[in-house]
């Protein structure tokens, strides 16, 4: 059975590399994963091995063990569709006992680039943390336990989520998680650089490892140290705990496999939502009635239900986090004045999310055209979008301002920062509206990619236009800079009144131009965003 499972998985891997549609992409993907896997395996192994004899070796082992188990539990959600053996339903029709299915899945999970790379990386612990044959044996055993935890936890997650992952909601979750992972990697980079440059890196690692050591992978990782120190009771105690956790996970896995086989998939059991009106009840008092409310309500609903919109929102929301992380790393101290620009940056990024709104709606904008887009209606359409964006954008900017003030201690800059941000928000809405009607472009419905904002070959052009509009907004905001600088010197009253007013009035003026264009060229805009469907 074990051999059969291994051969099946190898056959699947080979089959994936055969010529056929998309084979080049798969081959490149495989080559990349082999290269990346080898690099990470080597990096992990050499890091742990190089720390041999140093106090950090134990902490690094704990961190790596925990990190890998966490990664293994998330990865299948991102790559669910790429491995045929991962989906429990694929084996449901075969006459196999549940035990055989478990073995098949387990062995299948052990064959591949990722498990081999994981094994190699954590094997560094055998070199790094052992001082005798006995402790080396314990370390080797811990390595095996670690791999088992990775595999079993990952498969348990897949089985538990397999119904969800085959549904539209699961795919949405995958799209959102992929994007957020990519974004968080951008964040981790400066953090890690900062930590590694810090003189107290070892202390920080030690305190983190102290917490992680209480988790099951941490318990396994601390076994070699206990063996080295001659604390054999601790070794046994940790071993018992880890084995118990593994047993529990196996039980959960088996249970979820049974449910995955027995319960029909999600396409036949449709998700229900509670009774809901177009405009969320919380905001219903703030949203006007009629057409403005229709567009605003729709936009608000989309913000939480369309993974791409959600990712866009989160991207701009974590801008302050980036600032908080990066500014001390770059300047060695908190940059208080920079906080004003950070809040404005959030406003700019968020405000421009309304750009290409008809492209983002794809051809669904026909509803608006069919209901009539005379000038008053065209105004309502664009204003409705701005109302929704304001209802989300203002609290976003406000909370960003509060957080950054608290972190940087620049409370006296909060008012100028917020005033400038509202100014930028108003101007960005105008810029977004202009791009929407004068340079609309189709947005492909990429099933797995939350970042696809421009169609094939149009990505570059779309990006350039976006930058151009961004530059336009910054230019339009420039006249407010002297006021801002005065305010930073301690007289914010002028700015409080003038800057937001300037931004909102100018932004509204630009929106009026855009409304005229939408009213006159609606069908042509619809045709442009429908291209390359």
Q: Which is nearer to other proteins, 129 or 360 (CB)?
A: 360
Question: Is there binding between residue 306 and other proteins (CB under 8 A)?
Answer: yes
Question: Is there binding between residue 452 and other proteins (CB under 8 A)?
Answer: no
Closest CA to 510 of 441, 425, 439, 429: 429
**Which of 88, 293, 431, 455 is the binder for other proteins (CB under 8 A)?**
293
Cβ atoms of 513 and 432 within 8 Å: the answer is no
**Which of 99, 168, 200, 448 is the binder for other proteins (CB under 8 A)?**
168
Interaction residues for other proteins, span 242-261 (CB under 8 A)? none
Q: Which is nearer to other proteins, 77 or 303 (CB)?
A: 303
Question: Is there binding between residue 523 and other proteins (CB under 8 A)?
Answer: yes
Stretch in the footprint of other proteins (CB under 8 A) among 131-139, 146-154, 318-326, 520-528: 520-528
Question: Is there binding between residue 371 and other proteins (CB under 8 A)?
Answer: yes
By three-state DSSP, how is residue 19 classified? coil
Closest CA to 257 of 110, 71, 103: 103
Check residue 335 and give left, alpha or beta (phi > 0: left; psi -120 to 50: alpha): beta
Cβ atoms of 5 and 107 within 8 Å: the answer is yes
DSSP secondary structure, 377-443, as one string: HHHHHHHHHHHHHHHHHHHHHHHHHHHHHHHH--GGGHHHHHHHHHHHHHHHHHHHHHHHHHS----
CA distance 178 to 13: 23
Stretch in the footprint of other proteins (CB under 8 A) among 69-77, 137-145, 241-249, 274-282: 274-282
Task: Classify burial at 297, counting beta carbons within 10 Å of its beta carbon; exposed 0-12, middle 13-18, buried 19 or more.
Answer: buried
CA distance 239 to 243: 6
Compute the least distance from the CB of residue 355 to other proteins, in Å. 19
Cβ atoms of 358 and 224 within 8 Å: the answer is no
**Which of 290, 409, 479, 509 is the binder for other proteins (CB under 8 A)?**
290
**Which of 153, 294, 423, 510 is the binder for other proteins (CB under 8 A)?**
294
Compute the least distance from the CB of residue 275 to other proteins, in Å. 6
**Which of 25, 272, 333, 457 is the binder for other proteins (CB under 8 A)?**
272
Q: Which is nearer to other proteins, 161 or 425 (CB)?
A: 161
Q: Which is nearer to other proteins, 225 or 308 (CB)?
A: 308
CA distance 407 to 346: 16
Q: Across the chain, which distance is largest between two alpha carbons, in Å?
A: 84
Q: What is the DSSP letter of 275?
A: -
Compute the least distance from the CB of residue 520 to other proteins, in Å. 10
214 contact partners, CB below 8 Å, separation of at least 6: none
- The CB density around residue 235, as the number of other CB atoms within 10 Å, is 23
Compute the least distance from the CB of residue 528 to other proteins, in Å. 12
**Which of 58, 87, 361, 386 is the binder for other proteins (CB under 8 A)?**
361
Compute the least distance from the CB of residue 368 to other proteins, in Å. 7
**Which of 20, 210, 372, 509 is the binder for other proteins (CB under 8 A)?**
372
Question: Is there binding between residue 276 and other proteins (CB under 8 A)?
Answer: yes
Question: Is there binding between residue 163 and other proteins (CB under 8 A)?
Answer: no
Number of H helices, E strands in the chain: 22, 0
Question: Is there binding between residue 369 and other proteins (CB under 8 A)?
Answer: yes
Cβ atoms of 66 and 212 within 8 Å: the answer is yes
Stretch in the footprint of other proteins (CB under 8 A) among 33-41, 200-208, 330-338, 518-526: 518-526
What is the binding site for other proteins (CB under 8 A)? 168, 270-278, 289-291, 293-295, 297-298, 301-302, 305-306, 361-364, 366-374, 523-524, 526-527, 530, 533
């Amino acid at each position: 059975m074990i051999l059969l499972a291994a051969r099946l998985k190898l056959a699947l891997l080979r089959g994936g590399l055969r010529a056929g549609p998309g084979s080049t992409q798969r081959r490149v993907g495989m080559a990349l994963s082999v290269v990346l896997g080898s690099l990470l395996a080597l990096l992990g192994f050499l890091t742990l091995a190089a720390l041999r004899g140093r106090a950090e070796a134990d902490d690094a082992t704990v961190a790596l063990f925990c990190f890998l188990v966490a990664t293994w539990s998330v990865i299948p959600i991102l790559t669910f569709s790429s491995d045929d053996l991962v989906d429990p339903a694929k084996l449901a029709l075969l006459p196999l006992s549940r035990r055989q299915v478990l073995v098949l899945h387990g062995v299948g999970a052990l064959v591949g680039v990722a498990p081999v790379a994981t094994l190699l990386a954590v094997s560094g612990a055998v070199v790094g943390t052992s001082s005798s044959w006995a402790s080396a044996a314990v370390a080797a055993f811990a390595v095996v336990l670690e791999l088992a935890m990775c595999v079993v936890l990952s498969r348990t997650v897949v089985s538990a989520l397999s119904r969800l992952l085959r549904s539209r909601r699961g795919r949405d979750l995958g799209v959102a998680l992929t994007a957020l992972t990519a974004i968080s990697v951008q964040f981790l980079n400066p953090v890690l650089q900062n930590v590694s440059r810090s003189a107290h890196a070892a202390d920080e690692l030690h305190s983190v490892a102290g917490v992680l050591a209480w988790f099951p992978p941490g318990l396994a990782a601390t076994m070699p140290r206990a063996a080295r120190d001659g604390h054999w009771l601790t070794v046994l105690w940790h071993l018992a705990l880890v084995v118990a956790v593994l047993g529990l996970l196996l039980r959960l896995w088996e249970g979820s496999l049974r449910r995955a086989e027995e319960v029909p998939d999600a396409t036949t059991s449709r998700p229900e939502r509670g009774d809901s009106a177009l405009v969320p009840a919380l905001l219903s008092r703030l949203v006007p009635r009629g057409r403005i409310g229709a567009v605003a309500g729709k936009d608000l609903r989309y913000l939480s239900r369309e993974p791409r919109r959600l990712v866009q929102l989160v991207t701009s929301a974590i801008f302050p986090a980036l600032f908080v992380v990066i500014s001390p790393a770059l300047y060695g101290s908190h940059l208080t004045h920079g906080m004003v620009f950070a809040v404005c940056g959030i406003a700019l990024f968020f405000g421009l999310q309304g750009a290409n709104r008809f492209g983002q709606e794809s051809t669904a904008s026909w509803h608006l055209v069919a209901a009539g887009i005379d000038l008053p209606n065209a105004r309502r359409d664009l204003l409705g979008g701005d109302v929704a964006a304001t209802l989300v954008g203002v609290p976003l900017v406000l909370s960003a301002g509060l957080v950054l003030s608290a972190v940087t201690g620049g409370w006296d800059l909060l008012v100028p920062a917020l005033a400038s941000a509202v100014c930028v928000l108003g101007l960005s809405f105008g810029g977004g509206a202009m791009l929407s009607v004068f340079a609309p472009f189709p947005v492909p419905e990429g099933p797995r990619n939350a970042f696809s904002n421009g169609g094939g070959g149009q990505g570059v052009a779309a990006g350039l236009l976006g930058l151009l509009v961004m530059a336009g907004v910054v230019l339009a905001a420039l006249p407010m800079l002297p006021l801002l600088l005065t305010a930073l010197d301690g007289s914010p009253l002028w700015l409080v009144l003038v800057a937001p007013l300037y931004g909102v009035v100018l932004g509204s003026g630009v929106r009026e131009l855009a409304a005229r264009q939408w009213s006159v060229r609606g069908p042509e805009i619809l045709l442009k965003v429908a291209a390359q469907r």
